[in-house]
Amino acid sequence: MCGIIGYAGARQAAPIILEGLAALEYRGYDSAGIAVLDADGIPAVHKKSGKLVNLAAALQGSLPEGVTGVGHTRWATHGAPTDFNAHPHTDCDNQIIVVHNGIVENYVQIKEDLISQGHEFTS
């Protein structure tokens, strides 16, 4: 299982997203991450394998500032449970943030199409 939470509002997003992820811990997971857009719309992405406390410890004293963001807890179905494989993921221009629940069955075709359009992949 995994969990996804998003926030867009007037308050700082990171504490709300972390609280939401904590409420989803009972579902089981092997990694967690958040992405928060700053005032210029640039995402700050933080991901850690293991429990949510690992992510919270990595963020201690330096929560990303912004009022829009997304969080994800992952249960690996493809790829090892590592910091790199944890969600959120971004595109090669750091403009799109992606989290998903489940398996993208047609990922090979999607990847080939995007590569043909000039996108670069790290996985």
Q: What per-residue confidence (pLDDT) applies to 87?
A: 94
How many structural domains does the chain have?
Answer: 1
User: Considering the domain boundaries, does residue 44 fall inside one?
Assistant: yes
Which burial class, exposed, middle or buried, applies to 77 when counting CB atoms under 10 A from its CB (0-12, 13-18, 19+)?
exposed
Q: Estimate the crossing angle of helix 13-23 against helix 52-59, to 10 degrees.
A: 160
User: Considering the domain boundaries, does residue 78 fall inside one?
Assistant: yes
User: Considering the domain boundaries, does residue 122 fall inside one?
Assistant: no
- What is the span of the domain harbouring residue 112? 3-117
User: Considering the domain boundaries, does residue 73 fall inside one?
Assistant: yes
Q: What per-residue confidence (pLDDT) applies to 1?
A: 64
User: Considering the domain boundaries, does residue 123 fall inside one?
Assistant: no
Q: What per-residue confidence (pLDDT) applies to 2?
A: 85
Q: What is the CATH number of the domain that holds 30?
A: 3.60.20.10
- Tens of pLDDT, residue by residue, the chain (123 residues): 689 999 999 999 999 999 999 999 999 999 999 999 999 999 999 999 999 999 999 998 788 999 999 999 999 888 899 999 999 999 989 899 999 988 889 999 999 999 999 998 887
